[in-house]
Amino acid sequence: MKGFKVINPGMHSLLQDKGRTGYHSLGITSGGAFDQYSFGWANRLCHNLDNAGCIEILVGGLILEAQVTTQIAITGADVPIKINDSTVENWCTHNIQAGDKIAFGYATAGCRAYLAVAGGIQAPLIFNSLSTVVRESLGGLTKLGTPLEKGDVLSCSSNSHCTERSVPAKYHCEFDTDTAEIRMVTGYQYEQFSQQQTSQFFATDYVISPNSDRMGYRLEGPAIEVPGCEMLSEGISLGAVQLPANGMPIILLCDRQTIGGYPKLGSVFSQDIAKLAQMMPGKKLRFKPFSIEQAQRVLQESTSK
């Protein structure tokens, strides 16, 4: 089937959808688009189903050649984009002809861009998802967890051109220039940490370590004293903030292991996981306590809008 040919995969480009659920008890993680907010907008712009396959482009460098006539939408990081020789905007749709070349430069703010195609990118599903999880060797075009490679063809249908649509600027991602505020729903072993430890945790500006990826973000800052409770491995939720013995927090993200045995303070609120997805190593963040009542109220309010 025709679609888009990968001329250059760029730094690291992955096929993603909303991810896998229902298989965590087999040890299979969720995967899926890291920034679900930008991913959601890319599909909405193309009038796609909310779980349609997209490309998650880390930093940039991706070059595609269209083999079909269709429409695409790009959202997420601020990244220069050219279609043939013209520079085009982010957060809107573009009509594409067979033979067009779409080239991404490198992100100037944020670090993950999402490219959706009208009708969605087609790839074999594995555990009901095409999400690429490199660590598990699952998903993507090969079903074996491989990132996009030169010469790959991403299948999609032809679609007639229509009026171009864009997302109003007030809904674009905001990229924190200074310290990002990350809301964390307190939970798990939170009560076993002393008040002094949790106060220090919420007062610290943490720096994202270079050793961070879709599995987890390692943070650097003054060490937290970890309570000496004996732990048995237990289920890990998306965004869980665990504290290994060295006292440096690790936020467990979309490609996390499903069970683990370190104490955890709670889990990052999903709307702020999208924010983390756009933060490169070296960026700073500070946690803010968030109650389960607040979190569920905000979720209800944002869907009823």
Nearer to another protein, 107 or 274 (CB): 274
Nearest approach, Cβ of 23 to another protein (angstroms)? Answer: 8
Nearest of 216, 133, 167, 128 to residue 44 by alpha carbon: 167
Sign of CA dihedral 13, 14, 16, 22: negative
Nearest approach, Cβ of 276 to another protein (angstroms)? Answer: 14
Nearest approach, Cβ of 189 to another protein (angstroms)? Answer: 9
Confirm if 83 and 102 have CB atoms less than 8 A apart: yes
Nearer to another protein, 148 or 184 (CB): 184
Nearest approach, Cβ of 88 to another protein (angstroms)? Answer: 35
Confirm if 98 and 68 have CB atoms less than 8 A apart: yes
Nearer to another protein, 103 or 295 (CB): 295
Pairing verdict, β 216-220 and 206-208: antiparallel
Residues contributing to the site for another protein (CB under 8 A): 21-28, 126-127, 136-138, 143, 185-188, 232-240, 257-260, 264, 266-267, 269-270, 292, 295-296, 299-300, 303
Q: Residue 25: which residues within 8 A CB-CB, separation 6 or more?
A: none
CA distance 158 to 181: 42
Confirm if 147 and 61 have CB atoms less than 8 A apart: no
Nearer to another protein, 169 or 229 (CB): 229
Q: How many residues does the chain have?
A: 305
Nearer to another protein, 27 or 210 (CB): 27
Tally the C-alpha atoms within 13 A of residue 52's C-alpha that lie toward its C-beta: 25
Query: Which pair of tokens denotes residue 281?
Result: 């190593």
- Give me the helices (H) in 110-163, please: none
Nearest approach, Cβ of 297 to another protein (angstroms)? Answer: 10
Nearest of 64, 75, 129 to residue 99 by alpha carbon: 64
Pairing verdict, β 206-208 and 234-235: unpaired
Nearer to another protein, 23 or 175 (CB): 23
Nearest approach, Cβ of 186 to another protein (angstroms)? Answer: 8
Nearest approach, Cβ of 262 to another protein (angstroms)? Answer: 13
Nearer to another protein, 160 or 303 (CB): 303
Nearer to another protein, 113 or 240 (CB): 240
CA distance 104 to 111: 12
Residue 253 identity? L
Nearest approach, Cβ of 281 to another protein (angstroms)? Answer: 23
Per-residue CA distances from 232 to 242, 263, 264 (Å): 14, 10, 12
